[in-house]
Structure 1
């Protein structure tokens, strides 16, 4: 767990605060969500299956949530970029987080896994 904690501690403000808030929001959405470090980034899994992660956009330098199965979502605030499977939700670290949008997307991702559409 130390490496995972170190990931958050190494971030600069205000990105650190955004990541810590996102971590809490995501973990509170379901008791079966676990939190691991994979590929050097914090991943959130539902019953062992990766469903989202946190990272910083290389060009824009903004924190984001990556939704692993984002291709199934049509929300305009989810960006596919050059990915075929994943979509990202960017955040301005100097603004309040859009809590309802975040919770909606996380619940939608969880429902996709719970429905059996994605093998867990």
Structure 2
């Protein structure tokens, strides 16, 4: 098992399946330019080798989230900035429908701020 697979393997179901589904959607959204790496022990998604977003778990909210680079430039009421400078997060409520369209829209916005 590679380190990225190990990261997801440590997450309990049904959260694991939800995050794996979201991971697949992100990677499929731009197969030529979006890649995945493991940085700081977390699955990071990169756009043309530049930081795009990553998954993590909030102990404060007890929820997984997607953290968007250049989040400080994104304007969506569902995003939380808190004490972060360049990132904003979107909490994932596993009891609600996954906001795939919103996540892909935010990713497309972030891609516009990345200098290739």
C-alpha displacement of 1:46? 0.7
Structure-1 separation of matches of 2:88 and 2:65: 10
Question: The residue matched to 1:45 in structure 2 has which SS?
Answer: strand
Question: The residue matched to 2:84 in structure 1 has which SS?
Answer: coil
Q: Report if the CA contact (8 A) 2:34-2:47 is conserved.
A: yes
C-alpha displacement of 1:102? 1.2
Q: Equivalent residue for 1:33?
A: 34
C-alpha displacement of 1:80? 0.3
Q: Equivalent residue for 1:61?
A: 62
Aligned-residue CA RMSD (Å): 1.3
Q: Equivalent residue for 1:9?
A: 9
- More deviation, 13-22/64-73: 13-22
**Matched residue count:** 115
Q: Report if the CA contact (8 A) 1:77-1:89 is conserved.
A: yes
Write out the 4+ residue segments of structure 1 that deviate beyond 4 Å after TM superposition.
Answer: none
Q: Does 1:89 align with 2:95?
A: no
Structure-2 separation of matches of 1:54 and 1:18: 12
Q: Report if the CA contact (8 A) 1:41-1:54 is conserved.
A: yes
- Unaligned 5+ segments in structure 1 are 114-118
- Unaligned 5+ segments in structure 2 are none
